[in-house]
Amino acid sequence: MLALWRAVDPSTARSILVVCAADGIVGFAFGAISIGAGLPLWLPTLLSVVVFAGASQFLLVGVIASGGSLLAAVAAGLLVNARLLPLGLAVGDAVGRGWWRTLLGSHLLTDESAAFALIQPRGEHRRAAFWLCGVALFLCWNLGVVAGAAVGTTIPDTDALGLDAAFPAIILALVLPILRSIRVGRAVAVGVVVALVTSPFLPAGVPVLLALLGVLAGLPPRRSPATVIAPTATTDGTTGVTGTTESETAR
């Protein structure tokens, strides 16, 4: 860890420290919420070590606590984590070579570790930023979860602390920066409507999956074939032009 810390510039190291501290607080909220939802102490701890995906963990516990099926909870969590696939491709050089680096790096891959890696120049600085953020975040998150779960066992009503608002606040914070796009806003609006309309009639977790239909509303419109101006020879020897589509010229 000390070698990684020395390999990044001081401003990046401070930013990583701040992000890890914030995630530790969120992990504390997750641990307390999980215990307040009636889950055993070992479950949030195991989830944090094995899954290590904050948004997916909140979503899984939320679905189970509201009476949803385990299948719906796992499916929703996997869909949320699908965003990490392109991030993994983007930071592949920061992970390094070797099967053990690939496995461990994939487990430590988060939005934060990818972001800090991508703002660094390629090479040792990028690798150091990725691994420093990933390892530090893993430690802070899990320590926060254990502390929150321990405190949750001593508090009769964790809802009184308002910790149940942590997950919606996190999701809203992730969505807000991209809502400036009209297409994204339209997709989110449709997804919200679908989830609200179906919630009274379907098991918990299913409306969240159906809300993905909003993605269809955010797809870009299909463009009509462009017109290509091509010269043609006329019977009197002059040159004219005709308009053809791209599909016609391809044929």
Q: What is the DSSP string of 144-183?
A: HHHHHHHHHTT-S-GGGGTGGGHHHHHHHHHHGGGTTSHH
Full-model pTM:
0.64
- pLDDT higher than 90, residue 47: no
> Which stretch of 125-134, 144-153, 178-187 has the lowest confidence by average pLDDT?
178-187
User: What's the CA gap between 248 and 251, in Å, rounded?
Assistant: 5
DSSP annotation of 244: E
Q: Where are the alpha helices (DSSP H) in the chain?
A: 2-7, 10-36, 42-50, 54-65, 70-81, 84-90, 92-95, 99-108, 111-118, 124-152, 166-175, 182-198, 206-210, 214-217, 246-250
Higher model confidence: residue 120 or residue 42? 42
- Three-point CA angle 180, 183, 187, nearest 5°: 105
- State the helix-helix crossing angle for 42-50 and 10-36, rounded to 10 degrees: 140
Dihedrals φ, ψ of 161, to 5°?
Answer: -85, -10
Name the CA dihedral angle for 18, 19, 25, 31, rounded to a multiple of 10 degrees: -150
Which pair of tokens denotes residue 71? 């299948």
Would you kindly state where each structural domain of the chain is located, as residue ranges?
2-178, 180-220
Under the banding of pLDDT at 50, 70 and 90, the label for residue 1 is low
- pLDDT higher than 50, residue 247: no
- pLDDT higher than 50, residue 126: yes
User: What's the CA gap between 141 and 239, in Å, rounded?
Assistant: 72
pLDDT in tens, 77-119: 787 777 778 878 887 877 777 788 888 888 888 888 888 888 8
The answer to whether 64 touches 37, Cβ cutoff 8 Å, is yes
Under the banding of pLDDT at 50, 70 and 90, the label for residue 55 is confident
pLDDT in tens, 202-220: 766 677 777 777 777 777 7
Higher model confidence: residue 212 or residue 134? 134
Residue 229, helix vs strand vs coil: strand
Under the banding of pLDDT at 50, 70 and 90, the label for residue 141 is very high
